[in-house]
């Protein structure tokens, strides 16, 4: 059974009692909140004590490994997180502050749909939407887990091995397969069945980041995100492939976070202003 406990859905690797901004983060398909575990330490120093990193953890992985069913439908996932009554949302306790979204690959699509749902259903707009290694939602195209929902167990393992990044000891351990295979198939189906529904563009800035060697999402697919905002649009490419967010050295991850902070510039300018000591009265 799927828990609606907010603490299960939103992880807080470095808790702030009064953050000026919360950044909700969603990983690529098959990933979990640990992708963002060290991000608080990589934030620019000026905002480190004011911007809270809040990874969103889907069921069926990490500490939620025993929660079923897994989400295989984007509308079902979005309706769970953004129901008609906002107080019933697992995100509700964390929406009392300005917020932004970051999503990598499949996480970018989820972040986009969450931003749209909160805006249209509850008039809550993020201060920014940031995506990485994610083609614009209106464009069809291949994704890393293409067809995996139909693969045999052996084919899934070989496909994941070819993508790289998963330790060989994990793929070779038969005891771990019941843990990793269901979430990979569920995420593959979630992405394969995604159907973009045209709606008004977002009114927040969109920042898009891509890997220079990404064979799944090229520059045209990144540029196409510009059609989904009435506000400013920024594009930045980084060394690496589709999984550059995961594999990048700390320096490049710091640069990525600087781009995200820049996307939230108005809020972050206020953060910096609030952090400065008040002038001495003479």
Q: CA 205, CA 261: separation in Å to the nearest integer?
A: 12
- Catalytic-role residue among 105, 119, 125, 231: 105
User: What are the backbone dihedrals phi and psi of residue 171, each rounded to the nearest 5 degrees, phi first?
Assistant: -70, -25
First to last CA, the chain: 63
Report residue 146 as tokens: 């293409």
d(CA 100, CA 88): 20
Gap between the Cα atoms of 178 and 186, Å rounded: 13
Q: Does the active-site annotation cover 105?
A: yes
Structure tokens at 170: 């994990």
Q: Which two tokens stand for residue 275?
A: 């952090």
Beta strands in the chain (DSSP E): 21-26, 51-55, 99-104, 129-132, 206-211, 233-238
Helix, strand, coil % (nearest 5) of the chain?
45, 15, 45
Catalytic residues: 105
């Amino acid at each position: 059974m799927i828990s609606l406990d907010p603490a299960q859905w939103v992880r807080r690797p470095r808790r702030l009692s009064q953050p000026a901004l919360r950044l909700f983060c969603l990983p690529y398909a098959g990933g979990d909140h640990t992708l963002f575990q060290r991000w608080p330490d990589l934030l620019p120093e000026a905002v480190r004590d004011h911007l809270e990193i809040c990874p969103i953890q889907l069921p069926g992985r990490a500490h939620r490994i025993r929660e079923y069913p897994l989400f295989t439908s984007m509308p079902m996932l979005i309706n769970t997180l953004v129901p008609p009554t906002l107080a019933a949302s697992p995100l509700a306790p964390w929406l009392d502050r300005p917020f932004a979204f970051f999503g990598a690959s499949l996480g970018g699509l989820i972040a986009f749909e969450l931003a749209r749902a909160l805006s249209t259903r509850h008039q809550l707009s993020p201060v920014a939407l940031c995506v990485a290694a994610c083609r614009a939602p209106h464009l069809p195209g291949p994704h890393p887990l293409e067809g995996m929902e139909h693969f045999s167990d052996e084919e899934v393992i070989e496909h994941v091995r070819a993508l790289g990044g998963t330790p060989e000891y994990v793929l070779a351990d038969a005891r771990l397969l019941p843990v990793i295979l269901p979430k990979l198939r569920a995420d593959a189906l979630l992405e394969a069945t995604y159907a973009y529904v045209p709606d008004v563009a977002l009114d927040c800035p969109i920042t898009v980041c891509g890997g220079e060697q990404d064979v799944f999402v090229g520059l045209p697919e990144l540029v196409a995100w510009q059609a989904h905002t009435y506000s400013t649009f920024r594009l930045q490419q980084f060394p690496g492939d589709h999984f550059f967010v995961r594999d990048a050295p700390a320096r490049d991850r710091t640069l990525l976070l600087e781009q995200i902070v820049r996307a939230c510039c108005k809020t972050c300018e206020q953060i910096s202003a609030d952090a400065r000591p008040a002038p001495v009265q003479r």
